[in-house]
Structure 1
Amino acid sequence: MSPRVVLVGPPGSGKSTVGALLARRWDVGFRDTDADIAAAAGMTIPDIFLTHGEDHFRALERDAVATALATHDGVLALGGGAVMADATRALLADHTVVFLSVELTAAVGRVGLGAGRPLLAVNPRATMKALLEQRRPLYREIADFEIATDGTTPEQVADEIARWTGEPAVIRVGGESDGYDVVIGPDATIALTDHLAGATRAAVLYSAPLEAHAARVAAYIGEHVTVLPVEVPDAESGKTVDVAARCWDRLAEAGFTRSDVVIGVGGGAVTDLAGFVAACWLRGVPVIQLPTSTLAMVDAAVGGKTGVNVSAGKNLVGAFHPPRAVLCDLGTLATLPEPDRVAGLAEIVKCGLIADPVILDIVEADPKAAIDPTSPQTAELVRRAVAVKAEVVTGDLRETGRRAILNYGHTFGHAVEKVEHFGRRHGEAVAIGMVYAAVLGRLTGRADLVDRTRAILTAVGLPTGYPGGRWEELDAAMRLDKKNVGDTRRFVLLDDVAAPVVVDDVTPDLMLAAYREVST
C-alpha cells in the first residue's frame, strides 16, 4: 500500500486544502500527519510543543509519517518540518511527492500571526523567512515536481497535480457543437468506445510495427463494431495516393457507409493517411485518431490537417477534415525507440518557442525527464503542446491566418526532408529548421534566440546543423512551401519567445547567409 501522492511544503502552502480537494476528486481518503499526531497524543500540536518540547514532537512525527506511508493509499499531507529528518526523507524516496511552494509574503498572509503554529508564535515573518530558506532545498530534494501556489486557487493547484500524476487531461479543439476532444493520459484508449456511436464498421489503419497494438484495439472494440484491419506501409512511404487508393478499395469491399468510422493507429504518417482516406471516402466519413508517437500526439493527429506526399513535396495533397476524437495513450510512448521519442520533442519545443515558455523551462530543468516516456514531465509537455495547437487551430482551422505560426521551423525542415527523400525523421528536420529560423530572426533584426534554441535541442539529443553544399536543392524545395503567396517567400520568425510573426521581407542573401551559419 502506498499513498497516491504525498504533499509537502511550508505552512501556508495549502497542503490540507489542496489535499482534501484531490481526495474528493479521486474518491480516496485524505490524511494529514499533524492530525494523526494530535489524535494519538490526545492533545493539540501547540500543547505537545509546550508540554514535551520540539524534539518529542519530531519523534512522534517520524513515527506518524512512517505509519501513514505504509498504511494509507489516498492523499497524504506532511507537516511542514517533516522533511528535516533524514529518515523521513529516505522513506519518501519511493513515493510520488509534490512540493507546494509559496513565497514569503503569500505564506505569511495565509498563516496570519501564527495561531496554532508553535514555531511561528514569535515574529512570524522573520521566522517564516528562515524556515523557507532552510527547508526549500530539502523539499526540492525529495519532490518529483514542484508547483507554485502563489496567485492560484486551491482548485487550480489540484488540477495541476492531477495532470502531473497521470489523470487524463481533456482538451477541446473547436467549438462545443463542431469541435472534438483530445484525451491525454495513460490508457486513454479506453475512451474509444465512447466515440463509435452509429458505426457498424471500423477500419483500423496501422503499419507493420504496430500490428500487435492494432490487434488489441480491434479486440477491444470488436463487440461494438465489425473491424476491418488495414495494414499500410510504414512511415512516409505509406503516405501516397496509391496507398490511399488501396485503402478506399478495401472500404468499398467492406461496404463502408458514411456512418462507419476510420481509426488511425500509429505515428504521424499513419494518422495523416487515415485522415485523408476518411476525408475523401464518400466525401467524408468520421475518423478517430490513436496516435502512438510523441510527434503524432502533439502535431499530426491534432488539428484536422490530412494529406499525402507527392514527388514535388510533402503534404502538398490533402484536405482539412477534423477528427471525431484524438486519444493520446501515453502508455504507448514507452514502446518507441528513444530516437523516435527524441524526434517528437522538436514539435514540443516549437510550441514552447511560439506560445508557451513554460515548455522550455520544463525541458531545460530536466532534459532526461523530458525524454522519459513515464515521467510526469512528459505528460505535462504533451498536454501543454496539445493545448497550444488546440488554441491556434480553434481560431483558424483552414490556415488562413494565425495557424501559420505552427509552421515555425518547418519551411527549412520540410526542405531537408524532401532533399533527403523523407529518409530523415520529421522532428530532426524541424529541429534543424528551428535553428535556421532562429538565425534568420537574428539576421533580420529580431530576437537573438540562436544560442538558447541550440542549447535546448542539444540537451535532448536533437540535431542543430546541416551539411553544406546543398543550398540549391534546399532553396528549390522551399519555393514550394505552403505559406508562400505567389512568388513571395514567407517565413515564421520570432520577435521574442512566444511572439511569432509571419514575414515576407527575407532577402535571398539572408536566406543563404542563414544556411551557411547552420551548415558550419
Structure 2
Amino acid sequence: MALVVIVGPPGSGKTTIGRALAAALDAPFRDADADIADAAGKPIPDIFIDEGEEHFRALEREAVRRAVAEHDGVLALGGGAVLAEATRKLLADATVVHLEVGLGEAVKRTEIDKGRPLLQVNPRATLRRLMDERLPLYREVETFAIDTTGRDVDDLTAEIVAKLAVATVTVNDAEQPYPVLIGRGTTDRLPEFLGRAARVAVLHTASTAELAERVGALCPDGVEATLMELPDAEDGKTVSVAEQVWEALGAEGFTRTDLVVGVGGGAVTDLAGFVAACWLRGVAVVHVPTSLLGAVDAAVGGKTGVNTAAGKNLVGAFHPPRAVLVDLDHFTTLPRRDLAAGLAEVVKAGFISDPVILDLVEADPEAALDAANPVVAELVERAIAVKADVVGSDLKEGGLRAILNYGHTFAHAIEKLEHYRWRHGDAVAVGMVYTAHLNALTGRVDLVERTKTVLASLGLPTTYEPGRWDDLLKVMKIDKKNVGATQRFVLLDALAEPVVVDDVTADQQREAYERLTA
C-alpha cells in the first residue's frame, strides 16, 4: 500500500490511532520516535538530557528520511517532526493525516505520559504554545485533518479508512490543473480549496438546501458563507437567474479572491460555473455535485453555460473549477431512475474509450444501480478519468473533446422538443441508440444490440416516438459541433474508437430515426 503518515501535536493519539489504522488496513506500522530511540540506544528523554534538542532533531530528520524512503504502511511522526523544512518536503507526495485535538484533552492525555521532555515545566502553557506554533505546519503538510477530541479509536479509525479510500483524478488544465476527489466524505475537504477567500457563495436548489447549509458551516472563522437558492433543474439555467446571482454577489461585496460553490446537480454546477466565469471576469469555483449525472458530466471539464430559447447550453464560457468534490455518500439517497440517468453518461464513456465500464455494467446491472456498492465507485472513477483525459487534451473543444458528445446531437434535440422535461441521461440513452444505428448505416461497427441491451438493463429508454423527424432535424442543425451549415456527428469506427464525421447523409439520418422508432 502507499505510505500514510500520521502527524499532530502531543496528545492527539498518533501512535494509538496509527496502530489501529495499520491493523484496519492490514498494513505494517512504524513509529519514527521508536526508530530514533533504537538508533540512539536510549529513550528520547535521555537524548534530550544528554545531547540536547538540536541533536535530537538531527536524529529525527534522519529517522523520518529513512522511514519515508523504506516504509509502505502507516508511519507516525513525533509532534515536532514537521518543524524541519526538509521533512515537510519529504511529505509532499505522501498521504498525511493530521490529528487535531483540543487543548484540554491534550493536557489530560499528556499528563498520563511523563516521558515528554518538552512538557516537563508548566505543561499546559507549553502545550498551548507548541500547538499554536506548529498548527500552520501541520496544515501545510496535511492531506486531510481529523479532530480526535472526545472520540473513540474505532470511530476515528473508520473515518480515516473511509477518507483514505478517496481517489483523485487530475484534470490537466493548461493554466491550473485541478483535482476531482472521488470517495465518501469528500465534501468535508472543501476547506482545502478556499484559497484566500473571505466570502463564499453557496449556490443550491431547495432540494439541496440542507447540504448547502453544511457546506457553508465548513467555512472556518473569518470566511463568511452566503447561501443562494436557485430555481430547480433547467429552470435555474438562465441568464436572468445568473443576473440575480451577480446582483447578490455585488451586494455582498464579492471580490476576485472570493469563491463560488455549486451544490447540486448538473444544472446547478453549470450555472455556478457560468456565474463565476463572468463575475469580475473570473472568480474561483468549486463544485459539489449531488447527482451521479452531475458528477461524471457537468461538474468536470470546465464547460459552463445557460439555456436560451434557441437551445441548451448555447451561451456559456470555459471556466475550469478549482476542485470537484464527488462525494459518493450523496448518491445513496438518489431515486433509482436518477441514478440510472447518470449511468447513461458512464456507459457513454465505456463506448468511446473504456470498454471495461461496459463489462462491469453487463456483469451486474443491479450492482451498478446500488450507490453503496463498490462497483459504483469504480464506474464513477473510470468515467471521470475518461473525461479528464479528453479534456486535458482539448480544453476548449477544438477537436478531440467533441467525442464526449457521443449520442448528444440527438439527445439535445429530444430535450429541446420535450421542453427539458426529460432527464438528460434518458435523452442521452436514446441518443446513443440513434447513433449506434448511424454507425451501422454508414458502414462502421454495428453495436446496436449491445447498446440497447446494456441501456435496457439499467432501465433506460432505447426508443423514441415516430412522426417527429422534421422537428428533431431542425434542432440538430444548430448543434454546437456543426460547422456552418455542415452537420457533424460523433460515430464509432470500432468500440472505443470514436471519430467526428461530416458526411452522414440526410437519408442515413432519417433511416436511423426510422429504425430507432420502429
| TM, length-normalised to structure 1 | 0.69
CA drift of 1:517 comes to 0.7
CA drift of 1:249 comes to 0.4
Matching residue of 1:157: none
Whether the 8 Å contact between 2:437 and 2:446 is mirrored in structure 1 is: yes
In structure 2, relative to structure 1, the CA distance for the partners of 1:451 and 1:202 (3 Å cut) is same
Matched, 1:291 2:286: no
Counterpart-to-counterpart distance in 2, 1:25 and 1:514? 60
In structure 2, relative to structure 1, the CA distance for the partners of 1:503 and 1:246 (3 Å cut) is same
The structure 1 residue matched to 2:449, chosen from 448, 451, 456, is 451
In structure 2, relative to structure 1, the CA distance for the partners of 1:224 and 1:348 (3 Å cut) is farther
Q: What do the CA deviations read for 1:318-349 (whole angstroms, capped 9, x no partner)?
A: 00000000000000001211111110000000
Matching residue of 1:220: 218
Matching residue of 1:511: 509
Counterpart-to-counterpart distance in 1, 2:245 and 2:225? 14
Counterpart-to-counterpart distance in 2, 1:228 and 1:164? 29
Matched, 1:199 2:194: no
Whether the 8 Å contact between 1:163 and 1:379 is mirrored in structure 2 is: no
Give runs of aligned pairs for residues 65-214 of structure 1, distance below 5 A: 167-174=165-172, 178-214=176-212
RMSD: 2.2
Q: What do the CA deviations read for 1:273-300 (whole angstroms, capped 9, x no partner)?
A: 0000000001000000000100111010
Q: Give the 3-state SS of the residue equivalent to 2:297 in structure 1.
A: helix
Whether the 8 Å contact between 2:180 and 2:325 is mirrored in structure 1 is: yes
Q: Give the 3-state SS of the residue equivalent to 2:23 in structure 1.
A: coil
Matching residue of 2:353: 355
Aligned-partner residue type, residue 201 of structure 2:
A
Matching residue of 1:317: 315
Q: What do the CA deviations read for 1:12-34 (whole angstroms, capped 9, x no partner)?
A: xxxxxxxxxxx9996336769xx
Q: Give the 3-state SS of the residue equivalent to 1:242 in structure 2.
A: helix
Give runs of aligned pairs for residues 264-303 of structure 1, distance below 5 A: 264-303=262-301
Whether the 8 Å contact between 2:490 and 2:498 is mirrored in structure 1 is: yes
Whether the 8 Å contact between 1:408 and 1:434 is mirrored in structure 2 is: yes
Whether the 8 Å contact between 1:471 and 1:515 is mirrored in structure 2 is: yes
Counterpart-to-counterpart distance in 1, 2:410 and 2:25? 53
Q: Give the 3-state SS of the residue equivalent to 1:221 in structure 2.
A: coil
Matching residue of 2:233: 235
In structure 2, relative to structure 1, the CA distance for the partners of 1:459 and 1:202 (3 Å cut) is same
In structure 2, relative to structure 1, the CA distance for the partners of 1:254 and 1:165 (3 Å cut) is closer
The structure 1 residue matched to 2:331, chosen from 333, 353, 369, is 333
Whether the 8 Å contact between 1:346 and 1:431 is mirrored in structure 2 is: yes
Counterpart-to-counterpart distance in 1, 2:215 and 2:242? 21
Counterpart-to-counterpart distance in 1, 2:442 and 2:231? 42
Counterpart-to-counterpart distance in 2, 1:405 and 1:336? 28
Counterpart-to-counterpart distance in 2, 1:25 and 1:185? 21
Aligned-partner residue type, residue 296 of structure 2:
V
Matching residue of 2:86: none
Q: What do the CA deviations read for 1:142-164 (whole angstroms, capped 9, x no partner)?
A: xxxxxxxxxxxxxxxxxxxx999
Whether the 8 Å contact between 2:202 and 2:212 is mirrored in structure 1 is: yes
Q: Give the 3-state SS of the residue equivalent to 2:218 in structure 1.
A: helix
Q: Give the 3-state SS of the residue equivalent to 1:28 in structure 2.
A: helix
Matched, 1:498 2:496: yes
Counterpart-to-counterpart distance in 2, 1:503 and 1:464? 23
Give runs of aligned pairs for residues 479-490 of structure 1, distance below 5 A: 479-490=477-488
In structure 2, relative to structure 1, the CA distance for the partners of 1:505 and 1:185 (3 Å cut) is same
Whether the 8 Å contact between 1:202 and 1:225 is mirrored in structure 2 is: yes
The structure 2 residue matched to 1:28, chosen from 23, 34, 41, is 23
In structure 2, relative to structure 1, the CA distance for the partners of 1:498 and 1:163 (3 Å cut) is farther
CA drift of 1:496 comes to 1.2
Counterpart-to-counterpart distance in 1, 2:315 and 2:504? 27
Q: What do the CA deviations read for 1:106-153 (whole angstroms, capped 9, x no partner)?
A: xxxxxxxxxxxxxxxxxxxxxxxxxxxxxxxxxxxxxxxxxxxxxxxx
Counterpart-to-counterpart distance in 1, 2:272 and 2:26? 48
Whether the 8 Å contact between 2:203 and 2:227 is mirrored in structure 1 is: yes
Q: Give the 3-state SS of the residue equivalent to 1:481 in structure 2.
A: coil
Counterpart-to-counterpart distance in 1, 2:438 and 2:20? 48
Q: Give the 3-state SS of the residue equivalent to 1:429 in structure 2.
A: helix
CA drift of 1:188 comes to 0.5
Aligned-partner residue type, residue 317 of structure 2:
A
In structure 2, relative to structure 1, the CA distance for the partners of 1:24 and 1:479 (3 Å cut) is farther
Aligned-partner residue type, residue 288 of structure 2:
L
Q: What do the CA deviations read for 1:496-520 (whole angstroms, capped 9, x no partner)?
A: 1100000011000110000011112
Matching residue of 1:380: 378
CA drift of 1:175 comes to 5.1
Whether the 8 Å contact between 1:287 and 1:324 is mirrored in structure 2 is: yes
The structure 1 residue matched to 2:256, chosen from 250, 258, 266, is 258
Q: Give the 3-state SS of the residue equivalent to 1:27 in structure 2.
A: helix
Whether the 8 Å contact between 2:237 and 2:306 is mirrored in structure 1 is: yes
The structure 1 residue matched to 2:471, chosen from 465, 470, 473, is 473
Counterpart-to-counterpart distance in 1, 2:318 and 2:174? 19
Q: What do the CA deviations read for 1:71-98 (whole angstroms, capped 9, x no partner)?
A: xxx99xxxxxxxxxxxxxxxxxxxxxxx
CA drift of 1:385 comes to 0.3
Counterpart-to-counterpart distance in 2, 1:376 and 1:308? 34
Counterpart-to-counterpart distance in 1, 2:338 and 2:222? 33
Give the number of equivalent residue pairs.
371
| TM, length-normalised to structure 2 | 0.69
Counterpart-to-counterpart distance in 2, 1:242 and 1:307? 13
